[in-house]
Amino acid sequence: MTAHDPLPELDPVIHAQPRLRIVVALATLNAGDRVAFPRLQQLVGMTPGNLSTHLRKLEEAGYVAVEKAFRRRTPVTWLSVTRTGRRALEDYTWSLGRLLNAAEPQPAPQNPPAPAPSEAS
């Protein structure tokens, strides 16, 4: 990265720490797998209301799929990361890596040693 390259922007939907935890937890599932709301709540350590609020933002962005169904007679909410969500997480981690690399101190250019004075004979 040169001094003229712009720093990458981070996706504001994923960048919020609770939403990042949700997307990362869901991205650990295999494609096509899903998790029930209470299990995700345990994984990310959020209250039901807080988790619902962040899931709504992620669903609106197309990053998370929410499926409501019944297991026997009990309602269950299934959650999974979408292809768009996986790609957004990949882009986010790439941008974050570039941003962090730009923050690393760059070594100062070394001046070549001055030539030794020549001795006149």
Is residue 108 one of the residues assigned to a domain?
no
Question: Can you give the residue range of the structural domain that contains 47?
Answer: 12-97
Is residue 49 one of the residues assigned to a domain?
yes
Is residue 106 one of the residues assigned to a domain?
no
Smallest CA-to-CA distance from 44 within 67, 60, 24, 14 is with: 24
Is residue 107 one of the residues assigned to a domain?
no
Question: One digit per residue, pLDDT tens: the chain, 121 residues?
Answer: 445 567 788 999 999 999 999 999 999 999 889 999 999 999 999 999 999 999 999 999 999 999 999 988 999 999 999 999 999 999 999 999 999 888 777 666 677 666 666 655 5
Assigned token pair, 19 = 């939403």
Total of domains in the chain: 1
Its pTM stands at 0.78
Is residue 89 one of the residues assigned to a domain?
yes
User: What per-residue confidence (pLDDT) applies to 5?
Assistant: 64
Is residue 119 one of the residues assigned to a domain?
no
User: What per-residue confidence (pLDDT) applies to 33?
Assistant: 95
Is residue 28 one of the residues assigned to a domain?
yes
User: What per-residue confidence (pLDDT) applies to 116?
Assistant: 66
62 close to 71: Cβ distance less than 8 angstroms: no
Pairing of strands 64-71, 35-36: unpaired
Is residue 76 one of the residues assigned to a domain?
yes
Q: What CATH number should be reported for the domain holding residue 93?
A: 1.10.10.10
Smallest CA-to-CA distance from 15 within 91, 110, 67 is with: 91
User: What per-residue confidence (pLDDT) applies to 113?
Assistant: 66
Treating both helix axes as pointing N-terminal to C-terminal, what angle do 37-44 and 17-27 enclose, rounded to 10 degrees?
120
